[in-house]
Every structure is written in structure tokens, then in C-alpha cells.
Amino acid sequence: MRIPINPDGETMKHLTAPPPLSLDDKKRLDDLYAMIEREADYFIGYPCNAVFDYSPLFPFLNHPINNVGDPYVPSNFHLNTHDFEREVLEVFQQLTHIPEQDAWGYISCGGTEGNMYGIFLGRELFPEGLVYYSEDTHYSVNKILRCLHVRNIMIKSNPDGTMDLEDLRETIRIHRDVPPIIFANVGTTMKGAVDDLAGIRQILDELAVHQSYIHADAALSGMILPFVDDPQPWDFLAGLDSISISGHKMIGAPIPCGIVLAKKRYVDRIARSIEYVGTMDTTILGSRNAITPLFLWYAFRTLGLEGCRRRVEYCFDVADYAIERLSEVGRRAWRHRNSVTVVFDRPAPEVVSRWQLAVQRDIAHVITMPHVTRAQIDRLAGDIARSDAAVESNRVMK
């Protein structure tokens, strides 16, 4: 693409208004938007909630706002939304039951950054530590471990996606002289499985492991389990040292975002003062998005926690309906307790493509986010039935 250059060499600040887009460029944008609108009607395979309206916040996009630095420390960069960021973090602190006097966090660019932060804290606490993570852990974690040069061992997963605790026990026993840094899943990517945190703590106690660190990836389920009557152990009450939760998933946002919470005493170990921005360097990124904290703040102020609870109940209802309809068209379908991830037998490639389904080996899943409707589930089931019928017809003809 060739970018037009100002022939007079003037800087952009001298121009009162930018020139309009060419007709070709405008058409490209119009075509892109039309494609996104069309494909959004088939968006049921990935955990991003499409029910939101943040238009009252659009004026903030007219300014270069930036949440650089620690959200709890004043900065020389005044165009920030730190006050609102801290209010959002207070909500998550309540939901995750982190002790108030030892709570710290920030709004990240998404779950991967939050997971990197948790592993980073664990490594700084135990430089010679070993990270243990299961086969069903998100693909980005292996990349994080390479980036941080952390020693690690993959633990087997059970068929349902949870970490195999017997394998974990035996592996930690062999390496009892090395502090374990355990990466636990609170809702795995493909199956929505929640690792047994109580069982993990029991293993550490039985092996007399007194130095350890536990981080949880609760990207999706971190905004589900606080709103159910019978949650699995998943939060700081279950022994966590840090947790990562996505903001663009159950809450919903047009820009990926997340929160990471950690015990402040561990964060203090890595803090460094940065004079030229007048704040503390305690985050992974320097410049940080300042509009996403407003999105999350706005969602909590308008939807409220009771609204979040109703959304979760709706998602469970649609998930149960999906299991029923997929079973009717010959698919084995199931979900974990307190999960909106419906796992079923992998359908034909054209169905996978049309409905944007995540697949792995012989399974696929639908994630019944707040925007997913029973009507969409009916259409998916119809497409699967027609695809299977066509395959059977071709088989008979041969």
C-alpha cells in the first residue's frame, strides 16, 4: 500500500483537517464492515460476548489516553483512566476473594498477558522453580514459558480435560527439592474443565512442599463461577497467588482486554521506579490501553453484578438446549458443571467453517455466550443433519 506524502513537507499538526478517504478506500471499509456483520450471525464457537454498547464512551477516543504504569501510583502522564481502572479492580477483588490488604492488579490487554504476569511473578519469587501445566492448557502458555526461559514440565490431562493429579503428584515428588509453580486452569480452552485446586493443595501438603506458587487461568470461567450457587474451588480462598480473567469474554468488549490480580507482597518484589513517567513499573507493558478500563467500568455500572448473574443463567439455559439439539442430530454432546462450553463430535469441514467452530482432533465446541440464541443452535443442528445426510447419500451411491 502506498501512503500519500504531503508535498510541502509540513507536519500533520499544521493541517486543520485530514483529506477524505478515496472512494476505493471507503468501499474497502464498507465491504469489511458488511462482511463482519454477515459473519457475526454465525459466531458461536469462540468465547467473545457480542452483547454490548459502549457508544457513550466514544468521545474518549478523541484523545491519546494511556494508562502507563502502576494504576495505584500517580503518574506524570495525566491523560489516563486510573481512577476507573481501580474501581474495576475493586469489583474483581471482591469476586475473587483476594485479601484486601494484600490485593494488587491491573487491566491487561488480555488473558495471555495476565498469564505471563502470573508466571513472571512465580519465577521472580522462585528463580529455580519448575512450572507444571497440563496438556489442555492454552497454547500461549508454552510460548510464555519459552519467552521467560522458565523450566517446565507438562502434566497429563484426564479425558475430561482436567489435570491428572496422580501424574502431578509423582512429578512433584521426583522434584521435591525444586519449588513448584503450578499453572492451573479454571475452564480449559476446548472443554471448559476446572482443575482440582483443592486436590493440588492437598498434594503440596502431603509432600510437605512449603514453597510454591499457584496461578490460575480463569479467562472465561472467572466471570461465571462467582455467579453460580455451587462453584468449584477457583479463587484466592482456594489458595491462588495470582489469577487472570478476560474482560472481552463474558463481560464483552470490542477490544481484547483482561484483568490480572496478584498478592501485593509478590508484586512489591519486582517494582521499579521510573523517573521520566513519575510512576512505578509493576506491569508487563509500559503503555496500556486506557479505554478498556472504561468499557469494563461502564459494564459493571450499567449491568451490575445481578445482571451478570442473569447472563450466566441465560448462557446455561442455551447450553443445555444445545446439548439437547445436538444429541437429536446424532452428536454426543456434553458440558462440564458450571461451564458454557458445549463439547460435541466434530462435524464436517463446511459446518466448522460456516459456524466458526473451534476444533481439536475429534471434537468441536459451541460456547453459548450471551449473544448466542436457541435459533442459532437450531440452524447449526440443521446444518449438521443436512451435512451428515449428504455424506451418507454419497456413501450409499458409491
At residue 9 the predicted structure's pLDDT band, cuts being 50, 70 and 90, is: low
pLDDT at residue number 74: 93
Q: 3-state SS string over 272-311?
A: EEECCCCEEECCCCCCCCCCHHHHHHHHHHHHHHHHHHHH
Whether residue 289 contacts residue 109, with contact meaning beta carbons closer than 8 Å, is answered with: yes
Where do we find the cell 480462598?
A: 237
355, 380 Cβ separation under 8 angstroms? yes
How far apart are alpha carbons 143 and 126 in whole angstroms? Answer: 20
pLDDT (tens digit per residue) in 29-65: 999 999 999 999 999 999 999 999 999 999 999 999 9
The DSSP result for 331-372, as a single string, is --EE--TT--EEEEE---HHHHHHTT-EEETTEEEEE--TT-
Pick from 78, 81, 69, 108: nearest CA to 92: 108
- Domain ranges in the chain are 41-52+304-397, 59-300
Cβ atoms 387, 348 nearer than 8 A: yes
> What's the confidence (pLDDT) of residue 4?
54
Would you call 339 a catalytic residue per the annotation? yes
pTM of the model: 0.94
Task: Calculate the average pLDDT of the chain.
Answer: 96
pLDDT of 2 reads 56
- Please write the tens of the pLDDT for every residue from 160-219: 999 999 999 999 999 999 999 999 999 999 999 999 999 999 999 999 999 999 999 999
Which entry of 242, 339, 353, 393 is annotated as an active-site residue?
339
CATH architecture of structural domain 59-300: 3-Layer(aba) Sandwich (3.40)
Measured between alpha carbons, how far is 373 from 383 in angstroms, rounded to an integer? Answer: 16
Q: What one-character DSSP code corresponds to residue 267? A: H
Question: CATH topology of 41-52+304-397 equal to that of 59-300?
Answer: no
> What residues contact 392, with CB distance under 8 A and at least 6 apart?
none
Helix (H) or strand (E) holding 137, with range, is none
pLDDT digits (tens, 9 = 90+) for 239-277: 999 999 999 999 999 999 999 999 999 999 999 998 988
For residues 123-138, average pLDDT:
98
Strands (E), the chain: 103-108, 130-134, 152-155, 180-185, 213-217, 242-246, 258-263, 272-274, 279-281, 333-334, 341-345, 358-360, 363-367
Looking at 1.20.950.20, 1.10.10.10, 3.80.30.20, 3.90.1150.10, the CATH number of the domain 41-52+304-397 comes to 3.90.1150.10
Single out the residue of 36, 71, 51 nearest to residue 252, CA to CA. Answer: 51
